[in-house]
């Protein structure tokens, strides 16, 4: 019985932390985390095939993912302070969804996998729009 209580307590603490750090686990955040995992795996496999995989590269890629999640947390905190209703967090998540998607397509292209032209067009359009606003 106490083992079940410990698992339930851990689950509750994790949900509370997600609520505090990200304002909950919405679909955008779940999509981003999934794409980050896919990109991490695909890039690592590509480097493995080309003989470029090193522990330093893996660790660097992992650190970048952690910092990205930290920036999402920061955007959520700004939302709370400025009472913007999640707008900054959602925009940050969408930006990183586009970035991770572009990285996945680039990895697939480097491996010689045919990419639907629609993917390339949509990602290029979004990338160009983001550059114009910067």
Q: Is residue 53 pLDDT above 70, yes or no?
A: yes
Q: Which helix (H) or strand (E) holds 20?
A: helix 2-22
Interatomic CA distance for residues 14 and 23, integer angstroms? 13
Interatomic CA distance for residues 63 and 90, integer angstroms? 22
Interatomic CA distance for residues 59 and 63, integer angstroms? 6
Of the chain, the percentage scoring pLDDT greater than 70 comes to 79
- pLDDT tens sequence across 70-81: 999 899 889 989
pLDDT at position 86? 84
pLDDT at position 1? 47
Q: Any idea which residue has 């397509």 for tokens?
A: 105
Q: Is residue 3 pLDDT above 80, yes or no?
A: no
Helical pair 27-50 and 55-82, crossing angle rounded to 10 deg: 160
Q: What pTM was estimated for this model as a whole?
A: 0.79
Q: Dihedrals φ, ψ of 32, to 5°? A: -60, -50
């Amino acid at each position: 019985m106490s083992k079940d209580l410990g698992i339930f307590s851990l689950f509750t603490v994790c949900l509370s932390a997600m609520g505090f750090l990200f304002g909950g686990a919405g679909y955008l955040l779940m999509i981003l985390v999934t794409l980050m995992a896919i990109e991490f795996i695909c890039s690592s496999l590509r480097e493995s095939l080309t003989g470029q995989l090193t522990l330093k590269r893996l660790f660097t890629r992992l650190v970048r993912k952690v910092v990205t999640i930290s920036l999402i947390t920061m955007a959520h905190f700004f939302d709370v302070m400025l009472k913007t209703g999640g707008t900054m967090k959602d925009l940050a998540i969408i930006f990183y969804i586009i970035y991770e998607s572009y990285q996945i397509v680039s990895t697939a292209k480097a491996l010689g996998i045919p990419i639907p032209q629609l993917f390339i067009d949509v990602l290029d359009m979004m990338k160009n729009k983001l550059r114009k606003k910067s």
